[in-house]
A and B are shown apart, each in its own frame.
Chain A
């Protein structure tokens, strides 16, 4: 099997399962979920997933721990002051870029 075909099949699998998750409750469930445990679990899942994906990977995202750490700190500050997703992302990128320019062209 070629590399492209393997990738294509994985993407089809991703799309299929993701669509099923979206469509099944929409067409099947009419009553609300009563289980407090399941509701609590589902409530926490997105935050647990997002934070596990972010740390520690974010610290190595730019290939330089110093610039990435400063970018992370700035992103957390933006989030603390409730900036929007896009603004936070753009400011974090700009911060890393500025740090990288400094590290590459000024200190060396």
Chain B
């Protein structure tokens, strides 16, 4: 069996990179609109490499929020990477060293994880680094261009791009929910609490910042109590051919296969 090479990784990374470019461009535009300078936005993308986390983080950065608030927000939003990293750690090629892991960990995102695991072979250092490279460059450059072009594009186009990230989130949640109806229960609880906080007459900035965390914790705990997942339970979530929309369902399979 030939091992997965750097070249295999680069090739598998191309579709991810294309997708990231569109989304990170929209992210850059949105961040520039919040008054964050383009170089901070670019640095954020280069150092974080996470969509949902950066999206929530940018809100806090824009209003110069607290370090504690941003740490807590990232911890909650990015906790899924914990699970992905755990799954990956069990599928690494035996030659992957400690230092390799230090480097590879940076590239764990929904899409990169999904593609690497979907290959079904032991994950080598070279393959994973190849896979990370183009999406990383595209995510960083897209953000930079978006943040810079944010001042050039007409206002009507900018306003239309704002919906891009939310639409992407919908494209993750709905197919997953169609495959596993229990997810819709959690989504329903989460959206309800989010709306209650949003429309409540209490005008408190801390509450607004913590809204996402409060919703996620309550909804996930209720989900885990009322609809616990059996680790060995076989679940088949229908997915489209796109590598991006398969990401979360593959993550789930990863849990079961361990």
A residues apposed to B, CB below 8 Å: 3-4, 6-15, 17-19, 21-27, 29-30, 32-33, 36-58, 61-64, 67-68, 71-72, 75-76, 78-80, 82-94, 96-97, 100-101, 104
Contacts and interface: CB of A to CB of B under 8 A. Distances in A.
Q: Which interface residue of A64, A80, A92 has the most chain B CB atoms within 10 A? A: A92
A91 B82 CA distance: 32
Interface of B: 18-19, 22-23, 26, 36-37, 40, 43-44, 47-48, 50, 52-57, 60-61, 64-65, 67, 70-71, 74-86, 88-90, 98, 101-102, 104-106, 108, 156-157, 159-178, 183, 186-187, 189-191, 193-195, 198-199, 211-212, 215-216, 219-221, 223-224, 227-231, 238-240, 242, 244-245, 248, 252, 255, 258
Chain B: interface secondary structure? helix
A9 B187 CA distance: 33
B244 A49 contact: no
Contacts, number: 324
Given A50-B169, A52-B215, A54-B170, A21 B22 contact: no
A50 B82 contact: no
5 contacts: A27-B89, A27-B105, A83-B171, A86-B19, A88-B167
A21 B48 contact: no
